[in-house]
Structure 1
Amino acid sequence: MNLTRRELTARLGAIGLLWLTAFAAQAISTDAEAINKAGRQRMLSQRIALSYFMIGVNANAAEAAQRIDAAVAEFHGNLMELRDYAKDPAVQAALDKEAQVWGAYSTLAVAKPNPAQGAQVLAQSEQLLAACEDVVQKLGVKAGTGAARLVGISGRQRMLSQKLGKYYLAMAWKLNAPDLESGFQKTLQDFDGNLQQLLAAPQNTPAITTGLNRVKADWALSKSVFTQYKQGRFAPLIVSSTSESILKQMDAITGLYVALAAGKK
């Protein structure tokens, strides 16, 4: 995807329009909503890298470019909303750090993908994830435990679905970066552990339990595909599809936890 200056200008203009749409969303009014929004930032940081690598391995490249544009726009909007909501100095400082890392990362994200730059995207996606995680943790301390905490865990599953795809596609692209396989394996373990923790949560409603059981079934199928990389077999199209499916399901479940934290049934 070699962008001319005119194409890049048009693309940045489209991102601007998407950003205005994202920013027009309903303002944050509760801690649970803030944790959910901050958790989406974690997911978006990984979604951008996953989509970048989709272009690199030529797996639905046009769709991947659209995902990057939408994710960049949403991240901008979420950051502004979180800054408007957060009054705690520690949270504000964490958001400032997130914004600083985001500036460099977003510039890389909309450029033409290449393996050398891909290593930078991978590294900066980790840096941005850490900054976003810090915001979630500080909001979590402010919110306490219970259902609001489950919002954070469930939201983290959204991120892990994208992080797994990121590592997998980076390996498929044969990206020259350290610790790809170990990072992939750790992320697999993290998703497994979090899913078990959510399934065992006493606060779960029947709708949440049903949703989690669906994710559990899809996750079993995903793992069978993931493990084939050890035999040198990669299926980028399948992984990009299953990552998207799990993301959508976990997003819906996170919304149910947000409603639960707000006292809604």
Structure 2
Amino acid sequence: MTSVLLLATPDPGAPALASDFSAAGFEVRGQGDCAHLVREALRAQADVLVCWAPRPDAALLQSVATLQAQQPMPVLFFTQDAGVECMESALAAGVHAWVVQGYAPQRLRALVHMAQLREKHERALRTQVAELGEKLEERKWVDQAKGVLMRAQQVSEEDAFRMLRRASMQANRKVGQLSKDVIAAARIAEATNRAGQQRMLSQRLVKLHALACSRTDGAAAAVLMKESIQRVEDNLAFLEAGLSVASYGDLVAAARAGWKVLRALLEAPAQPSELPRLDAAAEAVLAQADALVRAFEASGIAPQVHVVNVAGRQRMLSQRMAKLALLGNAAGQAATAQEFEQGLATLQQAPLSTAQIRAMLDQGAAAWKTLRAAMPEAAQAGGRMKVAAASEELLEVFDRLTEAYQGSMEVLVGG
């Protein structure tokens, strides 16, 4: 039996709604005043809401809209208002049957069924629209994910889609959902790489400043310093534009503030006496970048980016090693060398490995040996140039290696 809730505005000429609807075979769940429409409808949980409102006002129709937003249901109105404007407002609010001066006990079943059928039809349309929206959204995610894989794997659009489809089958997930995760993983992997670059650049800039102070290949150091400063600015712009302000805004703002301090010191003439201040500011930039990387790894969006972090950290350690050699910090060199060799071992033992990655790891190990061999000569001009050259070679190898990890299928799809 269909249940109805009967609500009315004060009207001495209102018919005996409860008696008429009961006689028509409906279960009357309750009666009340239209002034409490939302509360009464939510409480009664009837199949159909029936309102007797000879002159419905805007507040009443707004109550209908509020109800439909919270708990959609068929709504039947009996009214004397034949105005098109009021009828239009009623339909927009969610009224399914608007009966003008047409109340009759023998018509009640047909009118209630009309309201129910129209509500059912509208619900089906909403479902279709939602499904269409989901399909369009899924297509958008798939297209973006294909672009990510095409760039990372250097494959055609067709091959990229095959990769997505194969990965979705292996994971027993829809291609659209997997595509969304690929995009999120790519974004976090690149952010991890960029923040990792900030760590490296903080150390590289001190190294280059130390070379300038010692008058060792000053022209080349100046070019690399200009390039490094621009790289820091580009990374910060990427992080500011691409990351959630709510999740990471405070960390990015701290990184920007720390860089402002370091950049001001870098723009002053190179003086050996300023190196300690410069190094302290660089360590602050490194710590702020480290905080960002830790936040990315803890986000849960792409836990597989850890290997990107480890490879990126090797770049920083290569520059720190050269910086410490130029500053004559032997104790720091020993600790940094141990960190670098632990990181190298971690990457060599990591399950994520391809022929390209293995070849770059071998190159990195060889370049590391070259840097270590040059360290004892760092107090002399020729030795400083060897340290600088070896550290740049090591940086270039681990830059490429980090990008290889960043674009790997294992990082992008978690496979």
Whether contact under 8 Å (2:186, 2:406) holds in the other structure is no
How many correspondences in the alignment?
229
Does 2:397 match 1:249?
yes
Residues 177-216 of structure 1: pairs in structure 2 closer than 5 A: 180-216=329-365
C-alpha contact 1:50 1:165 (8 A) present in aligned 2:
yes
Structural mapping, 1:83-122, within 5 Å: 83-87=240-244, 89-122=246-279
**Alignment-derived partner of residue 30 in structure 1:** 187
* SS across alignment from 2:274: helix
Ranges in structure 2 where 5+ consecutive residues have no aligned partner: 1-184
Letter in 2 for 1:50: K
1:134 aligns with 2:291: yes
> CA contact under 8 A between 1:101 and 1:127: conserved in structure 2?
yes
Higher helix residue share: 1
1:1-265 to 2 correspondence within 5 Å? 30-87=187-244, 89-143=246-300, 147-171=304-328, 180-227=329-376, 235-260=383-408, 261-263=411-413
* 8 A Cα contact 2:203 2:319, kept in partner: yes
By percentage of residues, which structure has more strand? 2
Q: Read off the aligned partner of 1:154 and give its amino acid letter.
A: A
* Structure-1 separation of matches of 2:345 and 2:376: 20
Residue in 2 aligned with 1:4?
none
> Match of 2:308, as an amino acid?
V
For the Cα contact (< 8 Å) 1:43–1:162, is it kept in 2?
yes
**Which one-letter code corresponds to 1:190 in the other structure?**
E
CA gap of 1:52–1:228, structure 2 versus 1, over 3 A, is closer
CA contact (8 A) 1:147 1:258 kept: no
In structure 2, what is the Cα distance between the partners aligned to 1:243 and 1:233?
15
* 1:222 Cα deviation after fit: 2.0
Supply the distance in 2 between the matched residues of 1:145 and 1:202 (Cα, whole angstroms).
17
Letter in 2 for 1:250: F
Q: What amino acid is aligned across from residue 106 of structure 1 in structure 2?
A: R
Between 81-90 and 51-60, the greater mean CA deviation after superposition: 81-90
Unmatched 5+ stretches in structure 1 = 1-27, 172-179
Q: Decide which structure has the larger Cα Rg and report it.
A: 2
TM-score (norm. length: structure 1):
0.80
Instruction: Using the TM superposition, give the Cα deviation of residue 145 of structure 1 relative to its aligned residue in structure 2, in angstroms.
Output: 6.4
Conserved? CA contact 1:147–1:203, under 8 Å: no
> Alignment RMSD, CA only?
2.3
